[in-house]
Structure 1
């Protein structure tokens, strides 16, 4: 099961390497099967697309190129030329094809079409009006980038669970600890004043 807190498939794709700021980031795309599941869960494909080890390696290269472009856009730096060329090359390719059936809509996709969908979404997000709304999660360990569509752009975390809850719980514990220390200090000062 993958997480989708970014607000756009390209951001969530880049976020499959979680906790990039740690010495030991967590890889959510660790097998061809997990790539296949990601395509389905993201909505790019309706069913899992059979993926091979070579597809996974290609996905990881594309993911890192997407992430480099996202970080460059957020920090207002020039795009890495190789990352930009790679994403643009994928964006030129055909994307998944929606079909109308008697049961409703069906999306047929190959791995290459799914990569093209991620690349086009990257172009759309980074080149569109919401690029200025990109933020990195306020949890210092989390590296998920998301589109802050909240009122007043006041969202701080990629998601309340786990990041927001973790930070709020830590802040509560810190406030409680400070309050207890102040109470102990006050009690001691009163006792010394009496003695």
Structure 2
């Protein structure tokens, strides 16, 4: 599977939760090393530079990610939040976040992996307590478990992203139709 980070969910906390892909089937972990975790923080634009991390940073990020995912799916199902997941998220959100600095070149966000994780946790708190909760949707691809914010007109969006899931589903549906429809012009 592709190790490129994908940002299609419309919110950093949702993209973070989506770093364990295909949860219902093959389960593909994006945070396999401290370097891959730090690459995510950089690629999502949360930080400009980040200090090297270690395995403990990866374990903490995975724990917070799973708490975020549980809380998001509880919101989708209109169920009460899982108390353990709440405790994990809130503990992470209480830590020191990324602090922007002003430099001669402009704003610069330098952080440790722990500060980056605290910032993601704060984003999750804002999302799950904010006005976008009714816009949360799970991708229509049964293999995908990404949750995204649907800002489309009429909330008609079905996929986390066309490139990641929409095209695959549409192509599969097209192939299925071609197989079952009678051949045109056949005698």
TM-score for the superposition, normalised by structure 2: 0.93
Q: Can you give the 5+ residue segments of structure 1 that lack an aligned partner in the other structure?
A: 188-195
User: After TM superposition, what 4+ stretches of structure 1 lie above 3 angstroms from structure 2?
Assistant: 181-184
Q: Secondary structure at the match of 1:123?
A: helix
Q: Does 1:169 align with 2:136?
A: no
The aligned residue for residue 13 of structure 1 is: 16
Deviations 1:68-87 (A, max 9, x none): 10110110111111110111
Given the alignment, which residue of 24, 44, 47 partners 1:45?
47
More helix by share: 1
Q: CA RMSD in A?
A: 1.5
Matched residue, 2:118: 116
Which residue of 88, 112, 131 maps to 2:90? 88
Q: In 2, distance between residues paired with 1:85 and 1:13?
A: 18
| Pick aligned residue for 1:125 from 121, 124, 127 | 127
Residue-by-residue CA offset, 1:116-159 (whole Å, 9 max, x unaligned): 11111111111101011111111110001100111111111011
Deviations along 1:49-104, one digit per CA (max 9) or x if unpaired, are: 31101111111111111111011011011111111011111112221111121212
Secondary structure of the equivalent of 2:142?
coil
1:35-74 aligned at under 5 Å gives the runs: 35-74=37-76
Question: Any stretches of 5+ residues in structure 2 without a counterpart?
Answer: none
Aligned residues: 184
Rg larger for: 1
Q: TM-score, normalised by structure 1?
A: 0.89
